[in-house]
């Protein structure tokens, strides 16, 4: 128990003293996971909506693949991204391995199916007659999509939270493709693993608390947006 | 008009995150010439590299990407040309890497030693046993839990050597468990499960305060832990940063850095964690 108390105190001290290293690690975590989430929103919402609103042969198979992708293990993603980005691998010429950009790529791959799967379910749960009605009122295709997204706002924001939550908490892929390099690709989760390995449990707990704090803060903002009165 | 304000908030969030992502900073670091150093967990977990890497970067202007994994994986990265220079402690595997032509210019950097640690009450009664082989035989005879790294690291290789030297086939025994984790985590497992394990001294000293594990066997010549620096052969892998790898290897054996290694950890642990050996012969170590 002493350790937890120590960890709490240390977390507060590190945050309020604006410790440069911890600040850098925290900022990088938010940047990498934030950017990865944005990419996954773009890909996930567009593809998810497209699959939800169209009928084509083999659709059930595609939906199953997307849903299975929601359970994509980060270490598996990390391993494959590493192999692809090796300097002697197919994308080696880009020199991306052990960079924050590689971490963004891996995390985007992890988050995209999550966002896509929830979007798909959200869009399909809208009453099908709604589309007909919107079309009948003379909306363009883009206008219709915008209105549908407004209608599915609650689950779509849940998709954002799930996607972001999936990647900010992820460690397996980040440590493999980022390398946990000090001052460069070290994020909160990889630093926590390292400090635990070093036996610095107080620092590890402090980092965990900082991580939880920011995850809560971001979800609070998203929840506030989500739970606002519906525009009517 | 609430719809607009929602989208505005969302847009603001998006812009804020993109702005924060400070891509320029990231790209700047990538443009610098980078050296990929594959090394063992012990050099990082002991904090030695946190001292040495900034010195190297300041001196040479290279940006070092330290990938801290087990020696086995570090050498696999070297053999695949995914690292420029290695700092490892698994002599037999290192010699093979050099013999196969992947590693060149292997040079002795430093040593410390491995130790056998276990629970304070020492149920297998190995304390006082001089020979590490005998200590291992006693653990086996008493059927006491032994935690192995099981990850092809230098420490794991050493531990297997000792079992072999003791003439014990431990792999399938119930009391022999493999964690597959780093040294620090394996020590924590040993502490929780009250088991014995073989560890490098540096990691043990760094973690000692939380463990409740005692040093029960040390000083046997078989327990020597020797670190070499190896450059990767550019003939095999043309994409290697040859100059950077050589610069780091030269740096590790330079006299002033050897002095840094000699004093590292003295202030914190009262004793050095590593003994610098540049220019010496392996046969003369520990004498």
Q: What is the 3-state secondary structure (H, E, C) of A52-99?
A: HHCCCCCHHHHHHHHHHHCCCCHHHHHHHHHHHHCCCCCCHHHCCCCC
How does B147-186 read in b/e, with b if 16+ C-beta sit within 10 Å?
A: bbbbbbbbbbbbbbebbeebebebeeeebbbebebbbbbb
The neighbouring-strand residues paired with B67 are B38
User: Which of B125, B115, B118, B114 lies closest to B196 in space, CA to CA?
Assistant: B118
Locate the domains of chain B by residue range: 33-112+225-282, 113-223
Asked if B142 and B216 touch (Cβ cutoff 8 Å), the reply is no
What is the pLDDT of chain B when averaged over all its residues?
87
Listed by number, the residues of chain B in 60-99 with a beta carbon closer than 8 Å to a beta carbon of chain A are: 63, 65-68, 80-82
B interface test, pick of A26, A183, A184 with most B CB neighbours within 10 Å: A184
Q: Is A201 on the interface with B (CB under 8 A)?
A: yes
Tell me which fold the domain A2-226 belongs to. Answer: MetI-like fold (1.10.3720)
Residue A175 has pLDDT above 50, yes or no: yes
Helix (H) or strand (E) holding B114: strand B103-119
Q: Verify whether the Cβ–Cβ distance A231 to B210 is below 8 Å.
A: no
For the segment B238-272, what is each residue's pLDDT rounded down to a tens digit?
889 999 999 999 999 999 999 999 999 888 888 88
Q: What percent of chain A has pLDDT over 90?
A: 67
- Regarding an ipTM greater than 0.85, the answer is no
Q: Which residues pair with B36 in a beta bridge?
A: B65
- pLDDT-based confidence at residue A229 (cuts at 50, 70, 90): low
Is B206 in CB contact (< 8 Å) with chain A? yes
Contact status of B9 with chain A (Cβ, < 8 Å): yes
Residues above pLDDT 90, as percent of chain B: 64
Res. B282 pLDDT band, cuts 50 70 90: confident
The token duo for B63 is: 């940006």
Contact between residue B149 and residue B70 where contact means Cβ atoms under 8 Å apart = yes
No. of helices (H) and no. of strands (E), chain B:
13, 10
Q: Do residue A30 and residue B20 have CB atoms under 8 angstroms apart?
A: yes
Token pair in block for residue B47: 């904090």
Confidence of residue A106 (pLDDT cuts 50, 70, 90): very high
How close B151 comes to chain A (CA, Å)? 15
What number of C-beta contacts closer than 8 Å exist between A and B? Answer: 88
- Chain centroid offset of residue A228 CA: 23
A218 touches chain B (CB under 8 A): no
List of residues 6+ apart from B40 with CB closer than 8 A: B68, B69, B70, B71, B74, B87, B88, B89, B153, B154
Considering only the beta carbons, identify the residue of A35, A98, A199 that sits closest to B67.
Answer: A98
The pTM of the full predicted model, rounded to 2 decimals, is 0.85
Report the pLDDT value the prediction gives residue B14, as an integer from 0 to 100.
56
pLDDT at B206: 82
Using a 10 angstrom Cβ sphere, with 0-12 exposed, 13-18 middle and 19 or more buried, the burial of residue B192 is exposed
CB-based contact, A146 to chain B, within 8 Å: no
Interacting residues of A209 by C-beta distance below 8 A, sequence separation 6+: A7, A8, A11
Q: Does domain B113-223 have CATH number 3.40.190.10?
A: yes
Q: Pairing state of beta strands B224-232 and B176-178? A: unpaired
Q: How far apart are CA B67 and CA B45, in angstroms?
A: 12
Cα–Cα nearest to B77, from B40, B124, B122, B50 = B40
Q: Hey, do B33-112+225-282 and B113-223 end up sharing a CATH topology, with the first three levels equal?
A: yes
When CB atoms are compared, the residue of B14, B29, B211 closest to A184 is: B29
Judged by DSSP in three states, B236 sits in coil
Percent of chain B clearing pLDDT 70 (strictly above) = 88
Distance CA A121, CA A119 (A): 5
Q: Residue A179 pLDDT > 70, yes or no?
A: yes
Partners of B182 on chain A (C-beta within 8 Å) are 197
Selected from 3.40.190.10, 1.10.10.60, 3.40.1360.10, 2.60.120.200, the CATH number assigned to the domain covering B33-112+225-282 reads: 3.40.190.10
- Positive or negative torsion for Cα B212, B216, B222, B223: positive
Q: What is the pLDDT of residue B156?
A: 93
pLDDT, tens digit, 9 for 90 and up, residues B9-47:
555 655 565 555 554 444 444 455 899 999 998 888 888
pLDDT the model gives residue B74: 93
């Amino acid at each position: 128990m002493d350790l937890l108390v120590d960890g709490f105190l240390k977390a507060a001290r590190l945050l309020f003293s604006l410790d440069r290293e911890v600040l850098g690690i925290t900022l990088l975590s938010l940047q990498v996971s934030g950017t990865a989430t944005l990419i996954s929103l773009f890909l996930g919402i567009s593809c998810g909506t497209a699959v939800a609103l169209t009928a084509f042969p083999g659709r059930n198979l595609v939906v199953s693949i997307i849903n299975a992708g929601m359970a994509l293990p980060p270490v598996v993603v990390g391993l494959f991204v590493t192999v692809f980005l090796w300097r002697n691998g197919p994308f080696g010429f880009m020199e991306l391995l052990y960079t924050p950009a590689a971490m963004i790529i891996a995390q985007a791959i992890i988050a995209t199916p999550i966002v896509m799967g929830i979007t798909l379910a959200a869009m399909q749960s809208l009453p099908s007659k709604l589309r007909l009605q919107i079309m009948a009122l003379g909306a363009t295709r883009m206008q219709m999509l915008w209105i549908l997204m407004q209608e599915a706002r609650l689950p779509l924001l849940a998709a954002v939270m799930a996607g972001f939550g999936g990647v900010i908490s992820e460690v397996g892929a980040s440590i493999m493709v980022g390398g946990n390099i000090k001052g460069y690709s070290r994020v909160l989760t990889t630093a926590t693993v390292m400090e635990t390995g070093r036996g610095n449990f107080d620092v590890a707990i402090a980092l965990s608390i900082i991580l939880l704090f920011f995850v809560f803060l971001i979800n609070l903002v998203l929840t506030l947006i989500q739970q606002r009165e519906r525009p009517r | 008009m609430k719809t607009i304000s929602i989208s505005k908030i969302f847009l603001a969030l998006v812009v804020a995150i993109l702005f924060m992502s400070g891509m320029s900073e990231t790209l700047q670091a990538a443009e610098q010439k980078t050296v990929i150093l594959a090394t063992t967990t012990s050099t990082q977990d002991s904090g030695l590299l946190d001292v040495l890497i900034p010195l190297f970067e300041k001196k040479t202007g290279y940006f070092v990407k330290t990938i801290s994994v087990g020696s086995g994986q570090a050498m696999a990265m070297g053999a695949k040309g995914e690292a420029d220079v290695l700092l490892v402690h698994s002599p037999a595997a290192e010699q093979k890497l050099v013999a196969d032509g992947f590693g060149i210019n292997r040079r002795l950097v430093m040593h410390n030693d491995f130790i056998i640690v276990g629970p304070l009450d020492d149920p297998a009664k190995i304390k006082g046993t001089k020979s590490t082989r005998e200590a291992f035989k006693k653990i086996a005879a008493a059927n006491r839990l032994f935690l192995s790294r099981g990850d092809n690291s230098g420490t794991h290789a050493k531990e297997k050597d000792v079992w072999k030297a003791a003439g014990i086939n431990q792999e399938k025994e119930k009391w022999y468990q493999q964690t597959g984790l780093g040294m620090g985590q394996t020590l924590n497992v040993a502490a929780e499960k009250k088991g014995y394990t073989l560890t490098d001294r540096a990691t043990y000293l760094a973690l000692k305060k939380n463990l409740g594990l005692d040093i029960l066997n040390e000083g046997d010549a078989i327990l020597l832990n020797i670190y070499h620096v190896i450059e990767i052969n550019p003939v095999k892998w043309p994409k290697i940063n040859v100059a950077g790898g050589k610069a780091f290897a030269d740096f590790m054996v330079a006299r002033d850095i050897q002095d840094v290694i000699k004093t590292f950890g003295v202030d914190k642990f009262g004793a050095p964690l590593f003994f610098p050996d540049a220019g010496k012969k392996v046969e003369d170590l520990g004498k």
